[in-house]
C-alpha cells in the first residue's frame, strides 16, 4: 500500500470525504482532490526568513549612516554647518533630485558638497539613513514635520509616506494647526483626513486655540490663507 505524506479519513455522515493533514487542517471535498496548503505556508515562511536575512545584510553598515564616523564621497552641509556624509550613487538612486544634480554640470558634481540651508544635520542624517536602510527614527532634533519637508524637497516618496503616517497620529492642540498646514502644503490626503477628524472630535476645545494660532506669518501663510484653510477644514469634516 502506497504511503502518503498526509493522512485522510472519510466523514461517515456524508457522502463527501473530509481530509485531514498532519498539520491539523481539515478540508472538505472529494477525497482525491484534497490539497493541503501547509507546504505552501512553509514555503512562504522560508521565503520570509530568507528575505529578512538578505534585508539585514543590505542594511548592515559599519559604521552606519547614523554614526558620526560614517564617510562617503558626498557631503551634505546643513544650516548648522555640521557635515553629513553619504554616497552619490546611493542618494542618486533614491532621489531624482540628487540624480539630476550629479548628472549635470553643477558645482555639487565637482565638489561633492551640497549646501542645504533649510535643514539641520539631524534631519539630513535621518534622510540619509532612510535611503540606506529604509528605517527612520524620529526625534526632537529630527521631527516628522521636518523629515516630511526634506522628503518632499528631494522627492523621496517612501520617506514621505512614513513621515505622513507618523504625523497622522498623536495630535494635540499645540500641533494640529501646523499639521493642517503641512497637509495642505504637501497635499497629504491621509494627514488631512486624520487631522480633520481630530478637529471634528474636539471642535469646541480646538477652535478658539487655532484661531489664536493663525496669525499673520504663522507657519508661512497669512491670516486670510489661514482662515481659508480653516474654512476648508470645517467643510471637509462636515461642521
Query: Domain ranges in the chain?
Result: 64-156, 168-239
122: nearest Cα among 148, 108, 140, 145:
140
Quote the cell numbers at residue 173: 492642540
**Residue burial 191-219, b: 16+ Cβ < 10 Å; e: rest:** bbebbbebbeeeeeebeeebeebbeeebb
Q: How far apart are CA 114 and CA 108, in angstroms?
A: 6
Q: What pLDDT digit, counting tens, does each position of 3-15 carry?
A: 444 443 334 444 4
180: nearest Cα among 169, 165, 166, 191:
191
Query: What would the mean pLDDT of 117-141 be, rounded to a whole number?
Result: 94
Q: What pLDDT digit, counting tens, does each position of 159-202 carry?
A: 999 999 999 999 998 898 899 889 999 999 999 999 989 988 88
Give the pLDDT score at 63. 52
197: nearest Cα among 148, 160, 234:
234
- Say if residue 5 is exposed, middle or buried (CB neighbours under 10 Å; 0-12, 13-18, 19+): exposed
Give the pLDDT score at 104. 86
Instruction: Report which of residues 167 and 111 the model is more confident about.
Output: 167
Contact of 109 with 99, CB cutoff 8 Å: no
Q: What pLDDT digit, counting tens, does each position of 30-69 carry?
A: 544 455 566 666 667 777 777 666 555 555 555 555 556 6
Query: What would the mean pLDDT of 130-143 be, rounded to a whole number?
Result: 93
Contact of 206 with 176, CB cutoff 8 Å: yes
Dihedrals φ, ψ of 75, to 5°?
-120, 120
pTM of the model: 0.66
Give the pLDDT score at 206. 79
Give the pLDDT score at 224. 41
Pick among 3.40.50.1360, 3.30.710.10, 3.40.640.10, 3.10.300.10: CATH of 64-156: 3.30.710.10
Amino acid at each position: 500500500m502506497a504511503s502518503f505524506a498526509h493522512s485522510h479519513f472519510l466523514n461517515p455522515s456524508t457522502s463527501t470525504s473530509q481530509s485531514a493533514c498532519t498539520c491539523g487542517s481539515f478540508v472538505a471535498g472529494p477525497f482525491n482532490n484534497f490539497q493541503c496548503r501547509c507546504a505552501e505556508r512553509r514555503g512562504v515562511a522560508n521565503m520570509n526568513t530568507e528575505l529578512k536575512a538578505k534585508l539585514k545584510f543590505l542594511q548592515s553598515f559599519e559604521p552606519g549612516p547614523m554614526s558620526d564616523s560614517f564617510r562617503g564621497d558626498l557631503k551634505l552641509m546643513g544650516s548648522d554647518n555640521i557635515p553629513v556624509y553619504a554616497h552619490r550613487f546611493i542618494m542618486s538612486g533614491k532621489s531624482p533630485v540628487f540624480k539630476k544634480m550629479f548628472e549635470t554640470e553643477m558645482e555639487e558634481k565637482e565638489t561633492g558638497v551640497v549646501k542645504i540651508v533649510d535643514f539641520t544635520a539631524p534631519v539630513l542624517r535621518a534622510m540619509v539613513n532612510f535611503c540606506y536602510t529604509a528605517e527612520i527614527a524620529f526625534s526632537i532634533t529630527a521631527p516628522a514635520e521636518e523629515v516630511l519637508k526634506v522628503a518632499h524637497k528631494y522627492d523621496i516618496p517612501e520617506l514621505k509616506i512614513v513621515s505622513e503616517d507618523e504625523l497622522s497620529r498623536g495630535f494635540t492642540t499645540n500641533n494640529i494647526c501646523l499639521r493642517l498646514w503641512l497637509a495642505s502644503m504637501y497635499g497629504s490626503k491621509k494627514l488631512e483626513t486624520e487631522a480633520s477628524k481630530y478637529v471634528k472630535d474636539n471642535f469646541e476645545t480646538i477652535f478658539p486655540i487655532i484661531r489664536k494660532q493663525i496669525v499673520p506669518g504663522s507657519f508661512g501663510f497669512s491670516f486670510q490663507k489661514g482662515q481659508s484653510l480653516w474654512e476648508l477644514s470645517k467643510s471637509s469634516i462636515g461642521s
